[in-house]
Amino acid sequence: MNNKRHILLLILLTFNLINSQNQLENDQKEFNLIAGIAPLSLIDVFDGISIRPTVDIKLYKNYALGLEYGHYLDIDGEFKRGQTGYLIKLTFKYYLNKERVFGNYIALEYQYKNVTFGLDDQISFPDQESFVKNYSLNRKSNVYTIKFGETTSISKHLVIDFYVGLGVRFLNSTASGISPEELDNISTTEDNEDTLIEGLYIEPGNFIRPNLTLGFKLGYKIF
């Protein structure tokens, strides 16, 4: 009797394993349209808190297009005051399986960002008492990035997209509410965190900087 129970239990476990495997394979089928969000942007106190809805669309065979729009909220961050603005991302994805738009991929991404935020910097003129200056900085950036990622299902409709990327940023920054003389005499002491953390990023002018991106998106597979 015990042997029959063991055999029956083994059959049930095998059937359940096969059924689970089939369900996983069905969940991993390619998508035509995914609507989602980039959740880390909601807690990013360094770059600024923003809401970023995303859409991924199958183009042809193993090619897909990702679209992302970000709207920055007027919330004080760790080093930036009241940042507002927006960003747009276009991502062209090439999935490595060559049969469907799912799994590992290589992507080329373009991002345009236009933001304005406030800074509080300490100004120190020679032989004068230092003072704190409140001013604004508008920064436009064009970013080109090569990304590596993976799109995978966590349920029948829920999808998660992990990615890492490396690229280059072209920055154009313009200050307002501060004179050129005051800009030239911003303090670089340890008490002035804005200057130390942001470095050349807060200075007006044109700059080229490396860009490193790491994150994930959560999506809902519509069909």
| CATH code where residue 136 lies | 2.40.160
The Cα 64–Cα 92 span in angstroms is 6
Residue 79's domain spans which residues? 31-221
Q: What is the pLDDT of residues 122-154, one digit of tens each?
A: 888 888 888 888 888 899 999 999 999 999 888
- Does one domain contain both 137 and 68? yes
- Label residue 6 by pLDDT band (50, 70, 90): very low
Q: Name the token pair of 208.
A: 């080229």
Q: What is the mean pLDDT of the chain?
A: 81
Check whether residue 17 and residue 104 sit in a common domain: no
**Residue 9: per-residue pLDDT:** 55
| Structural domain count, the chain | 2
